[in-house]
Structure 1
Amino acid sequence: MTSTPRPRPQSQPRPRDLGIAPGTLPPGPSNSLTDVPGVRVGHVTLDHHDAETPVRTGATVVVPAPGSVFREKPVAGLEVVNGFGKAAGLSQIAELGVLETPLALTNTLGVGAAFEGLVRHALDGHPEIGTTTGTVNPAVFECNDGWLNDIRGLHVRPEHVLDALSAASDGPVPEGAVGAGTGMVAFGWKAGIGTSSRLIEAGEGTGDGTGARYTVGVLVLANFGVAEDLTVLGVPVGRTLTPHQAREQAEFARGAGSCVVLIATDAPADARQLRRMAKRATVGLARTGGIVQHGSGEYALAWSTTHRVPHRPAGPVRAASALAEDGPLIDRFFRAVAEATEEAVLGSLFAARPVTGVRGHHAPALPAETVTGLIGDATLRVRPGAPDHPAT
């Protein structure tokens, strides 16, 4: 499988541009969540450099499928890796296995405003909500950007979510310090939004001859990790590159913050299978050095754009297909989630510019060229025949 990457609206090189390509499965055309047909992403960035109290925050929305997701609900599976978080709408997703609004990402104290924004959006498009049918379950995820942002100022408002929805696009997704990622930090470095995708051939190695191709796309909001733990392609680069300011603030150095992983696929997976996929996001996080600290809330949500549940069913029984789990195909989806999550976290770091925020706190940009040099040096050290690893 081959794909031709589409241009992206950012100047920083992505990990893959520098030869850092986690895993073995090929990426989609833009190597982003929006490679899954029908998925759209929008950002609103609140970045006030001249303000007396710096504002470094925003909102990111994901439209999970085309059409009305309230009337035709995408099937979904949720994994709460560590529940130290203030997300909204998750208990109903876990119980019913469906989404019924777009997904919003923002800072911890902006959850209420984002919730209201999603409610307004749902009410505007669905006059039946609260009149001839029930209410609606907005899904909002958060991370704490208080290291750089004036989080007490409650700068994210409902209209910002509506603006992000209006701006949502199926094109390449900007990464780094953008939208909800504007004030986020991972492993002591500026991070934020990251994204990646993988393509899966259903017929490979199965002999079924179907030739079906599926896409798995991932978007992360990365705000977690201890600086010394940062790992890239198995190389512990954080031990060499640890930024000094991560030692200056105890809570920051402990890795408190959180990470949200959103996973879309066009495969006909059911809610149980999607939850199994969501669990594999932890593999990708661990590969980057995440250990899920006490104060870091990790959430993973996966959904299918193919399986939709009507708000008003046609009858008492609903027929649905699912992926076979008695062959190699399901493992390819697990691999795709792990690989794309790992690359998305690295992408959030590589794309982010340095940011200075409240109380003079500074998050530097990850030195990408230094990282690639460390990886190259490590590769030489372990290569058979190298001076410190003689061939036997």
Structure 2
Amino acid sequence: MHAPPTASRRARELGLTVGDLPTGPHNALTDVPGIRVGHTTLSRPPRVHSGVTAIVPAGVGPGSPLPAGVFAGNGYGKLLGTTQIAELGTIETPVLLTSTLSAFRVADALVGWMLERPEGAGARSLNPVVGECNDGLLSDIRSRPVREEHVRAALDSASDGPVAGGSVGAGTGTVALGFKAGIGTSSRRVRLAGEEATLGVLVQANFGGTLRVLGRTVTPSDVGLPTPEPIPDDGSCMVVAATDAPLDARQLTRLARRAVYALGRVGAAYAHGSGDYGLAFGTRRPGTPAGPAVVPDDSLDALFVAVLDAVEEAVLDSLLTATATTGPRGDTRHPLPAEALLAVLG
């Protein structure tokens, strides 16, 4: 199912803004025209807190690929489909996010869904794109709870409206920076080479380090929460960025790098055991006979600023909109409490 937007307050609703660029109407990945997002959330406390999130670009398929780039800041993870993206500079399926040990079932389900659609008609090869984070602290990861029907529900329910954040979909069981985390999203509007463009991001936050909010360090104890012992420095973060700016695969790879760099702003440790990936794709196909011209490289700075700011805000939102969760072994993680955070920031 596509969970309704969380009632928790996002950073902007608390008066916390990142950068000066305006957002789109939903401040979400879906502000990029043609992008839909859906979640299936699996919550069977205390054993299972998991799910799947689907990012669905309009019309994508093996006969209608979209330009894309990928960057592994630290490659301790499983981003299925990476080598073909790096080789050909395209994606030909939606992008799905889930739990580590469920990634392979999710990929198989995505292939089945695609082959049934007009975009997959006649396909004899298909490159499913599936990313993951390890939610094993708060969920029975070995049970591999995400099944085909859950994948199809996320894909079929995807919409272009507001995107639910926090403990939903692929973020149901994730933790980051000592807090309960989950899904976060944000967008920015920019001018590139004299034209308007939108950049949107979605993060599945599950990484270690010490949180920084607008440059200030904030630990669980600073906001009145118990300090997990020890706070793990490993984990992962999947960052997916999309734009309607006409970029080629090389430029989208540059954008994907900066999506990973942005995690440093919020205190990411980039530890040995962390899979920190950026995937960026475009919804327009430059360089084709009917397509627009590629944006010049020297006009990309505004888009680079946009992705840095949007990822920082999306991670912060993932912490603020999550819900307290206790896992099967009694481990509990709490979201970042809004009022206590504002008190710390003064």
Which TM class, normalised by the smaller chain length? Answer: over 0.9
Give 1:295's aligned residue: 273
Alignment partner for residue 182 of structure 1, among 154, 172, 175? 172
* Secondary structure of the corresponding residue to residue 247 of structure 1: coil
Give 1:346's aligned residue: 316
CA distance in 1, matches of 2:285, 2:114: 21
C-alpha contact (below 8 Å) 2:260/2:277 kept by paired residues:
no
CA distance in 2, matches of 1:256, 1:45: 24
Give 1:54's aligned residue: 47
CA distance in 2, matches of 1:281, 1:321: 24
**TM superposition shift of 1:163:** 0.8
CA distance in 2, matches of 1:291, 1:281: 15
| 2:230 counterpart of 1:240 | no
Aligned-partner residue type, residue 215 of structure 2: G
Alignment partner for residue 364 of structure 1, among 331, 334, 341? 334
| 2:99 counterpart of 1:107 | yes
Is the alpha carbon distance of 1:67 and 1:330 closer, same or farther for their aligned partners in structure 2, counting shifts above 3 Å?
same
CA distance in 2, matches of 1:157, 1:133: 23
C-alpha contact (below 8 Å) 2:18/2:313 kept by paired residues:
yes
CA distance in 1, matches of 2:28, 2:16: 16
**TM superposition shift of 1:100:** 0.5
CA distance in 2, matches of 1:289, 1:133: 43
* Secondary structure of the corresponding residue to residue 297 of structure 2: coil
C-alpha contact (below 8 Å) 1:195/1:217 kept by paired residues:
yes
What's the CA shift string for 1:273-321, capped at 9, x where partnerless?
Answer: 00111111133211100131111100000111011799xxxxxx99762
CA distance in 2, matches of 1:68, 1:324: 25
C-alpha contact (below 8 Å) 1:41/1:173 kept by paired residues:
yes
**TM superposition shift of 1:256:** 1.6
CA distance in 2, matches of 1:294, 1:9: 34
User: Number of matched residues?
Assistant: 342
C-alpha contact (below 8 Å) 1:88/1:138 kept by paired residues:
yes
Give 1:224's aligned residue: 207
Larger radius of gyration: 1
Runs of 4+ in 1 over 4 A off after TM superposition: 126-129, 317-320
Alignment partner for residue 324 of structure 1, among 296, 299, 311? 296
| 2:133 counterpart of 1:146 | no
What's the CA shift string for 1:30-80, capped at 9, x where partnerless?
Answer: 10000000000000000013xxx61100000000x2124332111001111
C-alpha contact (below 8 Å) 2:287/2:293 kept by paired residues:
no
What's the CA shift string for 1:337-379, capped at 9, x where partnerless?
Answer: 0000000000100000101111111011211111112112xxx
C-alpha contact (below 8 Å) 2:106/2:148 kept by paired residues:
yes
Is the alpha carbon distance of 1:72 and 1:295 closer, same or farther for their aligned partners in structure 2, counting shifts above 3 Å?
same
Give 1:379's aligned residue: none
C-alpha contact (below 8 Å) 1:85/1:258 kept by paired residues:
yes
Alignment partner for residue 196 of structure 2, among 213, 226, 243? 213
Is the alpha carbon distance of 1:128 and 1:108 closer, same or farther for their aligned partners in structure 2, counting shifts above 3 Å?
closer
| 2:270 counterpart of 1:270 | no
Give 1:382's aligned residue: none
Is the alpha carbon distance of 1:261 and 1:244 closer, same or farther for their aligned partners in structure 2, counting shifts above 3 Å?
same
C-alpha contact (below 8 Å) 2:38/2:158 kept by paired residues:
yes
* Secondary structure of the corresponding residue to residue 284 of structure 2: strand
Give 1:123's aligned residue: 115
CA distance in 2, matches of 1:186, 1:263: 20
CA distance in 1, matches of 2:257, 2:62: 25
| RMSD, aligned α-carbons | 2.0
Alignment partner for residue 67 of structure 1, among 35, 53, 59? 59
C-alpha contact (below 8 Å) 1:188/1:242 kept by paired residues:
no
C-alpha contact (below 8 Å) 2:62/2:120 kept by paired residues:
no
With 235-244 and 293-302 compared, the bigger mean Cα shift is at: 235-244
Is the alpha carbon distance of 1:196 and 1:115 closer, same or farther for their aligned partners in structure 2, counting shifts above 3 Å?
same
* Secondary structure of the corresponding residue to residue 264 of structure 1: strand
Q: Which consecutive unaligned segments of at least 5 residues does structure 2 have?
A: none
Is the alpha carbon distance of 1:353 and 1:257 closer, same or farther for their aligned partners in structure 2, counting shifts above 3 Å?
same
Question: Greater strand percent: which structure?
Answer: 2
Aligned-partner residue type, residue 294 of structure 2: A
Percent identical among aligned pairs is: 47
* Secondary structure of the corresponding residue to residue 71 of structure 1: coil
